[in-house]
Structure 1
Amino acid sequence: MHRIVVVGGGAGGLELATRLGDRYGRSKNAGGAGVHVTLVDRYPTHVWKPLLHEVAAGSFDPFMQELPYAAQARWHGFDFQQGEFRKLDRSARRLTLSPVTDDEGAELLPQRELEYDTLVIAIGSTTHFFGVPGAPENSIALDTVPQAERFRKRLIAACVRAEYRTDQRSDQNAGSQAAYLPSEPAEPAEQGAGAVPAAGPRVQVVIVGGGATGVELSAELRNTAHVLSAYGLHKLDPRHDIGIVLIEAGPRILPALQERVSTATTDLLHKLGVQVMVGETVAEVAPGVVRTASGKSVRADLTVWAAGIKAPAVLGELEGLPVNRLGQLVVRRTLQTETDDSIFALGDCAACPWPGNERNVPPRAQAAHQQASFLLKAIADRLAGRPLPEFTYRDLGSLVSLGRFSAVGNLMGGLVGGNMLIEGLLARFMYMSLYRLHNAALHGYPRMVLDTFAHWLRRTTSPRVKLH
């Protein structure tokens, strides 16, 4: 029995395990030796990571859309083991999983070991704080559902408190002219922590990082502010009393996309009342304030850090497997690690060459999806003793959602025969289709259609933002 272990149940890892299970599942190997597929993840359920900004804004309920790994394993003929990837013994081809505990700290599962013949590492990425003082302690990252839920609950609590604490915030925040929308002049701050002038927003959210996550969250939060007000959770003016500031160190937001996409997005954010600060490097995140290298202090009732990613630290502790400066496993174009042909890596945790480009394959969901499809074929060749093919990434463009307001993006390559900027309803429809295509890869198109219809029915009888 050839043992395939896929570590990481994100978009790429879960798609690969599902398709391997469909091809080599239990029923297909009942007659004798074959292939056994195991998926490992530290959490019991899957939520598509590109939607975590919607979880944080309350416009996506993860508990209605999460997929239990155990159920997916049962339906598609693979096994699931819950636990965090802790260490690897390459000579024995064995990996160790951490114990699993419940919410009260009691042990559910002990530390375990799994043996493999082919190992696929797809554990994704974590937030990169770049050593900024106070950033890990005083800001919220959006790597997991619990983090996104934590931000959502704190946002609602901040709005409710602000309605009754207009004159009692002087001990929490530092005020400066950069902290407010241009139409609202700031007053001088007091010595020390400073006082918040009444002219500023009564609740202010600062998002550090002008990439896709930061931009999408800023737009979703504007919609959330309107919905929370409409349902009576607060009586604040959703546009002027709730401020949203987006800080980007580079000269423009969405630096990975074309400049015209960045310009169009900036214009749309300004129309939504989002203050965009570019060319500002964050030097410190303190309780209630974000300070930049240029000397500006931006008041922050809530701070979200979305300024970059790196691979999980465990990859740098795997003996004999080279990593790059971001901690990603260095792989060849076959997606095999440089020093071990039995170990593959895909997605955000892999530094994969991109021929014709100075940089590696970008950490995007479309790259993980393409690599999962590639590895399905490559592993079949490995099992048959054939030479492995080389992975070629096809950049199909990028889409950025601005919530219910709009979307922008660019389509590239064979999809349109060139490069085309899209925005508005078409871009919004295509963005929404990405999640549906992910569901189709996991469940097939008939079930995806039924799930889409069921989701539409639920939205007709429930608020568009989670209110509790």
Structure 2
Amino acid sequence: MQIITPGMRLIPEAVLANDAALFRTIPETPSHADKSLHRVVIVGGGAGGLELATRLGRKFGKRLSVTLVDRNRTHIWKPLLHEVASGALSVSHDAVEYIAHASRHGYRYRIGEVVGIDRAKRQVFVAPSFDDDGRQVIPPRVLGYDTLVMAVGSVSNDFGTPGAARHAIALDTAEQAARFNKRMIDACLRANAQYEQLSPGQLHCVIVGAGATGVELAAELHKSMREIASHNLDNIDFERLIRITIVEAGPRILPALPEELASATARLLIKLGVQIRCGIKVTEVTEDGIRLGDKLFVPAELVVWAAGIKAPEFLKGLDGLETDRINRLIVDETLRAVGDKNVFAIGDCANCALAGEENALPPRAQTAHQQADHMAKVIAARLAGRAEPAYRYRDYGSLVSLADYGAFGSLIGGLKIEGLVARLVYRSLHKMHLKAVHGLAKTMMASIGEMIVRRARPRIKLH
């Protein structure tokens, strides 16, 4: 039997087993670095992991051995995956290629999925990589470390809802977002080719979860599906037949934003024709739609699951490290995993509750950004033999952008912004990430180039 996972395909089930017997027969993979160098292994090339690898590579150069391990070959900023799903953003234009980026910024990139660690020997187990035809590209490897940083992010949590894993699409990876985009385009083409009446739920999309991802996706889909329909798909009335519904178990949308801004966002979505259902749980996802509660059924051709997160399953019981109920590693005030002085965690996969706070920090891009910056200071302290500094989080606020229709946000001190100002601040967050990854000069040049290229290419991806 073989288990299919995102990224490189076909990882044998034996490799994913908790028993590390297979890897104990494999010699440690040579790093081709000076043996006296402190070895930092970063698992996960998301926002936090990539920014940390870049900072360390630039700052320490040949004084430190930095290795980034990720099962994918490219990186895209996760808060933009809803734009990939809608077709507003193309992965081919905006992705960062790890191999090229690593060579330019002084760290090593190793492709593969980490499936376990040996804390006593300070080793990381990396599963073999296979191509789409099932042929092995890279064999299983064992990487040694002196400092291990887990930055594997999070995945959608369907809470065991029947049918969700099979019939709903999550937006955890670029591959999932691209798959939804293709399914959306196919749905429009299929409906346009039918001359008879559409079936119930056809051209309907249900988004489960009304956090930032779900709300922003609803606005982007409203824009994109009508953009697709404008390309000579004139056999049916798309304006009348396209329907988007947001379902939220909580009492209102956007619980992270002040109620005033959430209400303004809801009014705009309703004006666009988006249906909002709050205070009701999805009890089942089927091939034809979703079931709400015991009796209500909402037909839909497309279902997106954007409700709740959890850390990847392999973190649970990771060689005895302590985790919470959603698999996140418990870390102390320095971001060190409880029980091991050489293992750290940042971003969505870390349960970090600061002194005096009951709840862990929110799973936001700004949290990962700040923790990557702090982790670079921790490693600098470890190299110098100093005590690791304590992490301090600063909440810069929350923002939501609804395609071209509007934007709302709350900044430091409760300052509320909306419209063009909010949209510019929202876009600046991505630019900050690009600056951390590429540097100021390249980010400025890329931004200017994007402004020019955008006028020459289609407004939406149609393939």
Instruction: Answer whether TM exceeds 0.5 for this pair.
Output: yes
Letter in 2 for 1:111: P
CA-to-aligned-CA distance 1:265-299 (integer Å, 9 cap, x gap): 10110111100111110000011120011521101
Three-state SS of the structure 2 residue aligned to 1:240 is: helix
Asked if the contact 2:192–2:233 (Cα under 8 Å) also holds between the matched residues in 1, the reply is no
In the TM superposition, residue 449 of structure 1 has moved relative to its aligned partner by 0.7
Alignment of 1:50-69 (within 5 A): 50-69=79-98
Question: Pick from 423, 428, 453: which aligns with 1:458?
Answer: 453
Question: Pick from 61, 69, 94: which aligns with 1:40?
Answer: 69
Alignment of 1:199-210 (within 5 A): 202-210=202-210
Three-state SS of the structure 1 residue aligned to 2:54 is: helix
In the TM superposition, residue 238 of structure 1 has moved relative to its aligned partner by 4.1
User: In 1, Cα distance between the equivalents of 2:234 and 2:107?
Assistant: 48
The Cα RMSD (Å) is 1.3
Match of 1:383 in 2: 383
Asked if the contact 2:188–2:229 (Cα under 8 Å) also holds between the matched residues in 1, the reply is no
* Structure 2 unaligned spans of 5+: 1-36
In the TM superposition, residue 9 of structure 1 has moved relative to its aligned partner by 0.3
Whether 2:357 is the aligned partner of 1:357: answer: yes
In the TM superposition, residue 168 of structure 1 has moved relative to its aligned partner by 6.1
In the TM superposition, residue 88 of structure 1 has moved relative to its aligned partner by 0.4
Whether 2:85 is the aligned partner of 1:49: answer: no
Match of 1:313 in 2: 313
Match of 2:32 in 1: none
Asked if the contact 2:115–2:126 (Cα under 8 Å) also holds between the matched residues in 1, the reply is yes
Match of 1:150 in 2: 179
In the TM superposition, residue 167 of structure 1 has moved relative to its aligned partner by 3.7
Whether 2:421 is the aligned partner of 1:430: answer: no
**TM-score computed with the length of structure 2 as normaliser:** 0.90
Match of 1:193 in 2: none
Letter in 2 for 1:360: A
Whether 2:398 is the aligned partner of 1:398: answer: yes
In the TM superposition, residue 202 of structure 1 has moved relative to its aligned partner by 4.6
Alignment of 1:134-145 (within 5 A): 134-145=163-174
Aligned length: 427
Letter in 1 for 2:51: E
Whether 2:431 is the aligned partner of 1:442: answer: no
User: In 2, Cα distance between the equivalents of 1:271 and 1:464?
Assistant: 23
In the TM superposition, residue 241 of structure 1 has moved relative to its aligned partner by 1.4
Asked if the contact 2:46–2:151 (Cα under 8 Å) also holds between the matched residues in 1, the reply is yes
Letter in 1 for 2:124: L
Asked if the contact 1:228–1:234 (Cα under 8 Å) also holds between the matched residues in 2, the reply is no
Three-state SS of the structure 2 residue aligned to 1:361 is: coil
Match of 1:215 in 2: 215
CA-to-aligned-CA distance 1:355-396 (integer Å, 9 cap, x gap): 343311110000000000101111101111111111111010
User: In 2, Cα distance between the equivalents of 1:118 and 1:235?
Assistant: 60
User: In 2, Cα distance between the equivalents of 1:336 and 1:345?
Assistant: 7
**TM-score computed with the length of structure 1 as normaliser:** 0.89
Letter in 2 for 1:92: K
Asked if the contact 1:222–1:238 (Cα under 8 Å) also holds between the matched residues in 2, the reply is no
Question: Pick from 31, 45, 53: which aligns with 1:17?
Answer: 53
Three-state SS of the structure 1 residue aligned to 2:85 is: helix
* Structure 1 unaligned spans of 5+: 171-195, 413-417
Alignment of 1:399-414 (within 5 A): 399-412=399-412
User: In 2, Cα distance between the equivalents of 1:390 and 1:236?
Assistant: 60
In the TM superposition, residue 169 of structure 1 has moved relative to its aligned partner by 5.0
Letter in 2 for 1:126: V
Cα gap change, 1:235/1:403 in structure 2, threshold over 3 Å: closer, same or farther?
farther
